[in-house]
Amino acid sequence: MAYNTRVGSLAAYEKGVIELNDDLRKYAFSNIFEVAGGAQPFERVAVVQNLEYVAEVVRVEGESPWYAAPHDEFAVVMDGEVTFHFVKLEEDQVPGHAGGATRLGAKPNGPTMGKVTARRGHQVLLPKGAAYQLASAAPAVAIVQTMDGPETVKRWSDICVMA
């Protein structure tokens, strides 16, 4: 049996399906490009949740606000090109809550740590102790692995198949 793997993009994707001989209400499936296509820039929409951990789809378009989390996160660019800018936080500036990323009011005044430009398939660490900003000249899509937190948007009824 031959398999054909197709990689989608925000501009061109085919919504996939999974055939199960089971109750579909036990599963949550979504198409990340469909979710990103209907999201506002930098909205962090949960598409997977396991206990307190989530994978958020982010539509990157322009420059995001600055974010920081009390733990390491990572992002995988799924479409387009995203530049991640980093600023070192002082210990007392690292968010103290137990959840995911927090939107900061403005760019932190700590030392610049540099930037990473990532394209489809590239993974970027978003380390604890650093604030980060995402930027893209054209619409792009990233998945951020983090914990459920104040920036996590849940739209389960919009993105899940309910049988």
Above 70 in pLDDT, residue 38?
Answer: yes
φ/ψ (deg, to 5) at 93:
-95, -15
What is the CATH architecture of 31-155?
Sandwich (2.60)
Q: What is the DSSP string of 108-119?
A: --S-EEEEEEEE
Q: What is the pLDDT of residue 31?
A: 80
Enter the pTM of the model.
Answer: 0.83
pLDDT digit string, tens, across residues 71-94: 999 999 999 999 999 999 988 888
Q: For residue 26, give the 3-state DSSP assignment.
A: helix
Show the CA angle centred on residue 83, arms to residues 77 and 84, nearest 5°: 90
Which residue is it, tokens 């394209």?
119
Domain boundaries, the chain: 31-155
The model's pLDDT over 137-161, given as tens digits with 9 standing for 90+, comes to 999 999 999 999 999 999 888 877 6
pLDDT digits (tens, 9 = 90+) for 111-147: 999 999 999 999 999 999 999 999 999 999 999 999 9
